[in-house]
């Protein structure tokens, strides 16, 4: 029996559960096209999966074509320009009839286009193509120009891991160039997302930065608990395995209803049950699954702890035991935490590295890491 759960990559189809309200909200914004959207959520909440799903729905239900471009896929500015141009050309079905237009639209990049036997185009930039503000702008303007030219707009472009844009070049003011191109586009709607939430928030919320206030913020929370429970029960049931309400709630609690961890705990629980040739989930299966997950991550967790200051470790121990919105004197005394200023420096570091999330309260972003710390607090200061 195939494991119905999957984690570590974006999910689609049967492995995805609807997030109906969030999908519809994003679809509406993109269909209306009133503003570009920046999607905020802590790590592993399902941003990429949601955007991929929304792009699929837009294409099927609305005939709106879209692509999701992962900025971490490209190590250099040159590669970005070439791969992005290819992705955009592919999106509009890049036929031979548009080839001459590409030559015009990318004039400074001296493009050549070849076609595979199946007619799939590949654009390469010619010898002597230089990355200047003008040539980069040509690449960024390509979706707008092609959409106009073939009257196949509107298009949607999602930039995943968008905070990495500045890393593509130390010399070019890339944020500025992106912003000035994108804001002129009438036929392309943009979604920005990224896993380094604090960097994304700075990009879009700092008034000195080019992208300040340039997109509608859409915070993505956890899925509704009822949807997650239903997902767990139906996927186990479809595989011929019974999952009782209390057991489903245990998986939900252990994963704090964060999609990645929910899938991870469910996937390993599934292995426990099928490995024992049973057709019903028991509490001990879930416990064993959690132990395995904590175990396989132990080295990584150790390494992470080794790189922290003492105050950060103390703070992590406190947050693992008791997430909080405020570090008042009582909380600090209860957990033997240092004075406020030291604490805030420690918190800032943990938050920026993504170890701690600040949603409604401060908590460890990885619930399994929290378990690891609570199980072996002595390791913290070993």
Ligand X SMILES: Nc1ncnc2c1ncn2[C@@H]1O[C@H](COP(=O)(O)OP(=O)(O)OP(=O)(O)O)[C@@H](O)[C@H]1O
Task: Identify the helix (H) or strand (E) that includes residue 89.
Answer: helix 77-91
Tokens of 170: 């130390």
**Residue 318 C-beta: closest distance to Mg ion, Å:** 29
Residue 17 contact among ligand X, Mg ion, none, beta carbon within 5 to 8 Å by kind: ligand X
Is 214 a residue that touches Mg ion (CB under 5 A)?
no
- Kindly write out the interface string for residues 215-254 of this chain, putting x where it contacts ligand X by CB under 6 A and - elsewhere: ----------------------------------------
Residue nearest to Mg ion (CB): 48
Tell me the window of 148-156, 257-265, 286-294, 320-328 that interacts with ligand X (CB under 6 A).
Answer: 257-265
Axis crossing angle, helix 310-321 with helix 340-352, rounded to the nearest 10: 80
Query: Does 286 sit behind a cis peptide bond, omega within 30 degrees of 0 on the bond before it?
Result: no
CA distances from 346 to 267, 312, 328, 332 (A): 34, 5, 15, 13
Instruction: Name the segment binding ligand X (CB under 6 A); options: 5-13, 24-32, 245-253, 359-367.
Output: 5-13
- Would you call 66 helix, strand, or coil by DSSP? strand
Choose the stretch contacting ligand X; rule: CB under 6 A; options: 42-50, 162-170, 343-351, 364-372.
42-50
The reply on whether position 197 binds Mg ion by CB under 5 A is: no
- Say how many CA atoms lie within 13 Å of 20 toward its Cβ: 6
Binding ligand X (rule: CB under 6 A), the pick from 195, 255, 269, 365 is 195
**Cβ–Cβ < 8 Å for 121, 87:** no
3-state class of 322 per DSSP? Answer: coil
Q: Cα angle at 375 between 369 and 381, to 5 degrees?
A: 80
Nearest-CA neighbor of 201 among 185, 219, 188? 219
**Interaction between residue 365 and Mg ion (CB under 5 A):** no
User: How many residues sit in the footprint of ligand X (CB under 6 A)?
Assistant: 22
Please report, for the chain, how many H helices and E strands are present, in that order. 16, 9
8 lines the binding site for ligand X (CB under 6 A):
yes
Q: Count the residues of the shown chain that bind Mg ion, applying the rule CB under 5 A.
A: 2
Q: Which stretch binds ligand X (CB under 6 A): 16-24, 56-64, 311-319, 332-340?
A: 16-24
Nearer to ligand X, 135 or 163 (CB): 163
**Token pair listed for 265:** 């705990």
The answer to whether residue 163 forms part of the interface with Mg ion (CB under 5 A) is: no
Q: Which residues bind ligand X (CB under 6 A)?
A: 6-11, 15-17, 19, 41, 43-49, 195, 259-260, 263
């Amino acid at each position: 029996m195939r494991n119905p759960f999957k984690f570590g990559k974006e999910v689609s189809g049967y492995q995805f559960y609807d997030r109906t309200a969030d999908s519809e909200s994003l679809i509406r914004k993109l269909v209306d096209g009133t503003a570009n959207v920046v999607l905020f959520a802590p790590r592993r909440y399902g941003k990429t999966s949601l955007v991929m799903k929304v792009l699929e729905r837009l294409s099927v239900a609305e005939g709106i074509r879209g692509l999701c471009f992962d900025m971490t896929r490209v190590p250099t500015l040159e590669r970005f320009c070439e791969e992005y141009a290819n992705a955009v050309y592919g999106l509009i079905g890049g036929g031979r009839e548009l080839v001459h237009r590409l030559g015009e639209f990318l004039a400074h990049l001296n493009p050549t286009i070849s076609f595979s036997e199946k007619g799939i185009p590949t654009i390469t930039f010619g010898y002597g193509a230089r990355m200047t503000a003008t040539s980069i702008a040509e690449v960024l303007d390509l979706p707008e120009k092609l959409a106009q030219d073939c009257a196949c707009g509107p298009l949607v472009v999602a930039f995943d891991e968008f905070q990495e844009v500045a890393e593509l070049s130390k010399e070019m003011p890339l944020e500025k160039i992106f912003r000035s191109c994108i804001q002129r586009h009438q036929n392309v709607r943009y979604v920005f997302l990224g896993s380094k939430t604090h960097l994304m928030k700075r990009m879009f919320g700092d008034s000195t930065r080019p992208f300040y206030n340039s997109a509608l913020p859409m915070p993505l929370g956890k899925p509704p608990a009822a949807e997650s429970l239903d997902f767990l029960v139906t996927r186990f049931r479809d595989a011929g395995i019974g999952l009782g309400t209390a057991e489903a709630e245990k998986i939900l609690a252990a994963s704090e209803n964060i999609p990645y961890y929910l899938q991870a705990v469910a996937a390993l629980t599934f292995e426990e049950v099928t490995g024992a040739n049973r057709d019903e989930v028991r509490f001990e299966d879930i416990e064993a699954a959690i132990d395995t997950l904590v175990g396989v991550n132990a080295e990584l967790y150790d390494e992470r702890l080794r790189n922290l200051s003492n105050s950060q470790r103390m703070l992590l121990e406190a947050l693992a035991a008791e997430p909080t919105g405020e570090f008042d004197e009582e909380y600090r005394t209860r957990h033997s935490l240092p004075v406020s200023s030291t604490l805030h420096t420690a918190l800032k570091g943990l938050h920026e590295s993504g170890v701690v999330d600040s949603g409604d309260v401060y908590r460890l972003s990885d619930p399994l890491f929290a378990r690891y710390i609570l199980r072996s607090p002595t390791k913290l200061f070993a």
